[in-house]
Structure 1
Amino acid sequence: MKRAVIRASLLVASSIYSISVQAQADNNGANRDGDIIVTAQKRSERLQDVPLSITAVTGDQLGKQGISSAADLEKIAPGFTYRQSQNGTPVFAIRGIGFYSEQVANAPTVTIYTDQIPLPYARMAEGAALDVERVEVLKGPQGTLFGQNSTGGAINYVAAKPTDHFTGGFSLTYGRFNQFDAEGYVSGPIAEGLTFRLAARHESRDDWQKSSTRDDKSGQHNFTVGRLLVDWEPSDRLHVELNINGWRDRSDTQQSQARGYLPVSETPPATPQTIATNAALTAYPYITSNDNRLADWDPGRDYRRDDEFYQVAANIRYDVSDEIRLISISSYSHLKSFAPIDVDGTDHHALFLTQDGLIKTFTQELRLEGDMGRFKWVFGGNYEHHTANELQRTDLRGSNSQLVFGPGVAVQFDGLDLYNDQKINAKAVFGNVDFKLTDQLSVQGGIRYAKEDRDFKGCLADNGTPTGFGAVLGLPLTAPNRCVTFLPSGAPGQVVTSLNQDNVSWRVSLNYKPSSDALLYANVTKGYKSGGFGTLPAVSYQQLQPVTQESVLAYEAGFKFSLFDRVLDLSGAAFYDDYRDKQTQGSVIVPPFGNLPYLVNVPKSRIYGFELDATLRPVTGLRITAGGTYLNTRVKSPAPVASPFGEPVDAGGERLPNAPKWQIQGDAEYDFAINKDLSAFLGGSISFRTSSDAALGARTGPAGSEDWFKIDGYTLLDLRAGLEFGNGYRVQIWGKNVTNKGYWNNVVHIYDTYARITGQPATYGVTVSAKF
């Protein structure tokens, strides 16, 4: 009985721990001792020695668990959350710090890198998980080494590198909804000192969403990504890495699940078109079940995206001496996006939007780093130039597509365009030092000065048709872009303005290592995210004001232990964040268009919580990881925002959006030999999160609306089993969300309805892979 109680206690204790290190039998991404080697501080170190809260997972384990995108990291990285905007832009957050926006061209608070090469905008990261050695999720502000737009953290994908001998591999997957994925790579030498690695993946799937009102389907997936790495070592001291990568997405935009009628304009319908739309949306049979597959959209339209991305980057390292290295990282990235979106989520044409985006970025980092025993240091600078152009074309029939001038006097218009063009120049200098005071005690310090100049051009514009906004009012359509936003002069035209800001990020850390398998640390970090301009139908130039930069002052204390000869790895951290001027998507009343999405700053917030994580290897072949994060967030008063219902409210006392109080993840896998040439494995993972709100002010609406903008908590269960053959082949069967849990990761109110963005239903399939 006593042993049973002890076993049960261990299982309960392990359930509050998070996935931190997942050592693999083939040591992919690990050293000879099974330690994960990370580059979280832009140098190679054992994960156990880095005084930061990090989740690091090898590429082999990512493949087994079917983690193929940054959105999937929510299943393995405690404190990390993902939600999708209605326009398809992914929104990442760590420990409650995230930036929600429907725009293509807004930088996130969680930056993503491949081999330290930045992907500055979230949409650029879709192909980052191809053929990786490992992924590192760094939690807390990372501004001193990874730049100012890292107030939440950073994700660094480490690509599998070229080899000095010929090797290759492939993976084929077939699953539900006629899913067919094919991936492969080949690697080897080209000439003396010159090697390459070429990898590619294609993903396809038939429609998975069903119309709630008719026999119709949507949701095809069509995505292709590739990467070429070339390594050149012309001498012992010079190493050049060339990275050429790109992807194309021709998938359908995900359809939203309309749950109710919530017009953005309170003006009674006064034209035949708005009267008809009001009647149709009032009588529409809104979805009431939690079936992930149900949604609705206008019939007869093409909803395929046309998104393309490519990047060319070079990492050049020159060893000045055995202790000093000069490193240059240059990159050019190019993203073109086109997304057709049914905004209202019904079969009635209330608002249909197409979003065009074009982003070009050039980044250059130059740093000098040294390792002189007790003293390690790095000093350098960054330069970035971005051009970001976005055009939203709207075809509307809803509540705000009319102008009422008096009883019986109303004008109907059916379209307008929104322009948002920005040019960004950013410069920074930084330094970081690590000094060992004794063999056990060390201190670290880092600082970065950053300056950003952002130029903006944009406006509300007529769509060029006889029934467009400007045409029906008889406004003069000024060049460029037929702008009708009123300027200070009183004439309509294009708004031209700028936002210039600078800041100093810094970090101080005290670290104590009583042994090689133990670490205690305490950090204080200040980080910033740059400001920017939103996209909305601004009748006046005064409505196109930017959000200013936000900042986080973060305190963290943590530990990392390896116990019982690596049978048990434990780590944990407690943290407190003083969050100032948080950027988020709120609402604003824009006459005559009503209640519309708008970027706002929330003056003061605070976050505190803790994380605990463990990896247990009780017997040969069995690995159990489990973990959790507790998060307590509050907005401090005064915090004036407009709620999703259009009411001015003080959000003081509310939780931050999409910041669940508890997240728990766990995974278990048992590998065992059948004979000398055949082994098998059984595994499963579980992820749980409590409820959260989708927006500030979401609980201030009319009676009965308390849960309209609530994201319910949910638990997802994935299972897998497979055989591994001695010749390098693997056959695996798998299931995701095997309980077919109905859940959603966002609730949106862009137009006359409020709607959910649902998660995936149960999927299952088989994967065959090989390495040779």
Structure 2
Amino acid sequence: MIIKKTKTILATTMTSAMLLPSAVLGKEDGRRVLEEVIVTAQKRAQSLQEIPMSVSAISGDMATDAAIVDTTDLVQYTPNVKFTAANPAYSSTSIRGFGTPPLAQNLEPSVGLVIDGVSYGRSTFTNDAVFDLERLEVLRGPQGTLFGKNTVAGVLNFTTAAPSFDLSGYINVAEESLDGKRYEAALGFPIIDDVLAARISWRKRDKSFGLYNTTRNNEEEQFKDESMRLKLDWFPFEGGEINLLAFKSDFESVGNGMQHSHITPSGFQVYREADPQTEDDEFNNTRATNAPTFTSRFSEAIALKMSVDTGDNWVFRNASLTAIASRAQVDTPYLLDSDFGPVNALSLETDGPDRYKQEQFELRYTADSDVLFGWGDSVDWVIGMFVGESHATVTQFARQNLTGLAQLAPLIAEGRGVPNAGAAEVAALNALIGAVPNGEQDVFAVNYVRVFAESYALFAQADWHLSSSLTTSLGIRLGKETKDGANGSFANTPVPALVAGQENFDNEGSKKEYEVSPKLAVSWSPSDELTVFGNIAKGFKSGGYSG
């Protein structure tokens, strides 16, 4: 199935809107004052009150004080934002109700994700940023001009803690419910004074849910999560800076935390033939499933950023040139006991790890200049180009055991309200069992989707300061994206076609789409405590391929 592109135009207008960032209130001459919050919502350091859009900022200190350990906790402090994660392989962010369903793995998100200046094309990278955090910025509304495609709802812009030339660090150890233990540590240190500094961060979480599986005779409900990050800041000459970022994460979860409840008498009869200890007390931490359910996630990324102050050039002043090259990959293998019982009947798993890989390069020029046409005070400029490519593979290996399905047939019939306890279904399945060769009671169907995408874009934004209190922002992004996709399905026997309507097919296609994402914003600050702004922006989300 080919999913067509969608274009979203959203207008955001806020009047008499006070920007109240998540910052600590200080005191000045006995009066409470709001500390200035510096953000990078427009790809350069600015005060939060200068940004003509709806932005929330959360500091890393606040996240630490609130004992926040993942994105689900973090977004509780940001209005209109929701992060959904059934497990690390299936996650999704929505802002103001706009998002992409977490099970639509091979469709790109509607909320952009940026970590230390690098965009990531899947929401499953989000939790890689939620430790040793300096700041999270939530940008609401389309952000296509500066951040590109797939930001029709907004952007989560993470900044992690930077290296320092002063020796610093911390160690946090916490104990959680369900025998959970959490460790987090970071160390920043100089390597060459005033020239090279590093920061190493590490996080580990272990938790056991204490669910005993009587069918498999083990206590399998648990997860382990470990991440490590390395950052290097190098200042080889005056006005020059090179930053290296690398991280790696390893998440492994066994089980799904589910227990049976309200099993019917016929259900007990069928289940206890497979496992005599099957019960439906949902509070005794016992379950009965036969397949080794698990979810894993392995991610890694590396990014190199170089910035050079180029001074005054032509009409531009205080100019800086920034280049960012990055590569990232995430694998998410899983296996699910999809009949959720002790009978060996159904399971779903990846046919090899689901994988997403991206490579990107961005070149950006920032500067300020004299005013246009002699109107106003000055103009701030951001001009850049972007090149990126990505590879994505998603598979689903659906296994059916015919003998197990025959055992479950009475329950399936009971659930559908079919009389005679599923005698017809049992007879049909027994006929299928007799039709397949001996030793091939396991039949399967595999669905797959593969996508290769290339993206190119030019972008520019000018913030025209008409006066000390009035600013107009004009921006545009011109992009082109090509996607080559393939999807299909195949089975080892005709049984999936007879039982579930499966069809063997292979489908290939190519899509070419063009992006035009303009932006117009006006910001007025009649006083230091009040900013009134309005903006009109257009976001772009390309089409794709779904299984």
Q: CA deviation at 1:235?
A: 1.0
1:422 equivalent in structure 2: 451
Higher helix share: 2
1:390 equivalent in structure 2: 394
Distance 1:87 1:533 in 2: 22
Letter in 2 for 1:323: N
Q: Secondary structure at the residue paired with 2:185?
A: strand
Q: Is the 8 A contact 2:296 2:333 kept in 1?
A: yes
Letter in 2 for 1:429: L
* Contiguous gaps of at least 5 residues in structure 2: 1-17, 28-32, 264-269, 312-316, 370-376, 413-423, 434-441
Q: Secondary structure at the residue paired with 1:97?
A: coil
1:171 equivalent in structure 2: 172
Distance change (3 Å), C-alpha of 1:18 and 1:462:
farther
Q: CA deviation at 1:220?
A: 1.0
Letter in 2 for 1:234: P
Q: CA deviation at 1:149?
A: 0.5
Q: Deviations over 1:705-761 (max 9, x none)?
A: xxxxxxxxxxxxxxxxxxxxxxxxxxxxxxxxxxxxxxxxxxxxxxxxxxxxxxxxx
Q: Deviations over 1:623-659 (max 9, x none)?
A: xxxxxxxxxxxxxxxxxxxxxxxxxxxxxxxxxxxxx
How many residue pairs get aligned? The number is 469
Distance change (3 Å), C-alpha of 1:421 and 1:441:
same
1:445 equivalent in structure 2: 474
Q: Deviations over 1:308-333 (max 9, x none)?
A: 11101011111111611111111100
Q: Is the 8 A contact 1:87 1:103 kept in 2?
A: no
Structure possessing the higher relative contact order (Cα contacts under 8 Å, 6 or more residues apart)? 2
Distance change (3 Å), C-alpha of 1:408 and 1:113:
closer
Distance change (3 Å), C-alpha of 1:170 and 1:467:
farther
The RMSD of aligned alpha carbons is: 3.5
Q: Is the 8 A contact 1:427 1:450 kept in 2?
A: yes
Distance change (3 Å), C-alpha of 1:408 and 1:256:
closer
Q: Deviations over 1:211-230 (max 9, x none)?
A: 79999765312011011100
Q: Deviations over 1:513-537 (max 9, x none)?
A: 11222210011111122221112xx
Q: Is the 8 A contact 1:88 1:254 kept in 2?
A: no
Which of 224, 227, 242 matches 2:226?
224
Distance 1:534 1:146 in 2: 25
Q: Deviations over 1:64-104 (max 9, x none)?
A: 21222222233111101122347841121010001104244
Distance 1:86 1:172 in 2: 24
Alignment pair present for 1:303 and 2:293? yes
Alignment pair present for 1:326 and 2:326? no
1:139 equivalent in structure 2: 140
The correspondence of residues 188-203 of structure 1 with structure 2, limited to 5 A, is: 188-192=189-193, 193-203=195-205
Q: Is the 8 A contact 2:63 2:74 kept in 1?
A: no
Q: CA deviation at 1:304?
A: 3.3
Letter in 2 for 1:389: T
Distance change (3 Å), C-alpha of 1:296 and 1:379:
farther
Distance 1:511 1:460 in 2: 53
Which of 445, 453, 458 matches 2:487?
458
* Contiguous gaps of at least 5 residues in structure 1: 1-16, 27-31, 262-275, 474-482, 487-493, 536-772
Q: CA deviation at 1:24?
A: 7.2
Distance 1:259 1:446 in 2: 56
2:515 equivalent in structure 1: 503
2:306 equivalent in structure 1: 316
Q: Secondary structure at the residue paired with 1:124?
A: helix
Distance change (3 Å), C-alpha of 1:518 and 1:172:
same
Distance 2:393 2:544 in 1: 13
1:530 equivalent in structure 2: 542
Distance 1:114 1:441 in 2: 31
1:367 equivalent in structure 2: 364
Q: Secondary structure at the residue paired with 2:62?
A: helix
Q: Is the 8 A contact 2:26 2:34 kept in 1?
A: no
Q: CA deviation at 1:154?
A: 0.7
The correspondence of residues 628-639 of structure 1 with structure 2, limited to 5 A, is: none
Distance change (3 Å), C-alpha of 1:218 and 1:98:
farther
Letter in 2 for 1:227: R
Letter in 2 for 1:457: A
Alignment pair present for 1:102 and 2:97? no
2:250 equivalent in structure 1: 248
Q: Is the 8 A contact 1:189 1:196 kept in 2?
A: yes
Letter in 2 for 1:485: N
Q: Deviations over 1:1-50 (max 9, x none)?
A: xxxxxxxxxxxxxxxx9984232789xxxxx9722211111111111221
Distance change (3 Å), C-alpha of 1:212 and 1:511:
farther
Distance change (3 Å), C-alpha of 1:446 and 1:198:
same
Q: Is the 8 A contact 2:379 2:463 kept in 1?
A: yes
Q: Secondary structure at the residue paired with 1:305?
A: strand
Distance change (3 Å), C-alpha of 1:211 and 1:56:
farther
Distance 2:255 2:479 in 1: 36
Letter in 2 for 1:497: G
2:504 equivalent in structure 1: 485
Which of 358, 362, 384 matches 1:380?
384
The correspondence of residues 395-406 of structure 1 with structure 2, limited to 5 A, is: 395-396=399-400
Aligned residues with identical type, % of pairs = 24
